[in-house]
Amino acid sequence: MPTLSERFAFVANRLYPRMIDEAGAAVAGSPPVGRLDQLSGQKYCVVVTYRQNGEPVATPVWFGIGDGQLFFRSLAGTAKVQRIARNEEVLVAPCTIRGRPLGPAFRGRAQILAAGDAAAAAERWIQSNYGLGRRLYEWAIADADAVYVAVTPV
């Protein structure tokens, strides 16, 4: 039986894609001339991952920046995490809450972090970019199976 957190996360992951701006997919078609530092002061970025057939999929995420990398958290079983496990190449651009790009993208290599010190550091970087809203969201999904992802610009 799924926990309350897992049910909440499942519903959120089913509804959110229906609200995402289709313009996020256009990130994959534009030249990757952006930089990691252009995300300073932003609350959302769109991460473009690739399906097995090469089709890009854009997803807005909450993120943190530290040690020259971008960090975000996602539920372990999501398609985004599965795509990253197959292909570490991603594009990242600043965006609105609904995924509308606000600037050019940069290329990166995504890595799923193991639980432990690296994940704890990633959480600290993410927390430093947000306030109460994210802490409440994290509390609501606290016992859901999630992973941290680090993106290194290339």
DSSP string, 59-77: EEE--EEETTEEEEEEETT
Confidence (pLDDT) at 122:
95
What tokens does 118 get? 């690296």
What SS3 class is residue 119? helix
- Distance of alpha carbon 89 from alpha carbon 91, whole angstroms: 7
Confidence (pLDDT) at 81:
97
Confidence (pLDDT) at 108:
98
What tokens does 154 get? 């290339």
What SS3 class is residue 93? strand
Low-confidence ranges of the chain (pLDDT < 70): 5-6, 8-21, 23-24
Share of the chain above pLDDT 70, in %: 87
Domains of the chain, CATH where assigned: 4-153 (2.30.110.10)
Confidence (pLDDT) at 97:
87
CB proximity list for 1: less than 8 A, separation 6 or greater: none
Amino acid letter at 104? P
Count how many Cα atoms sit within 13 Å of the Cα of residue 55 in the half-sphere of its side chain.
4
Confidence (pLDDT) at 142:
73
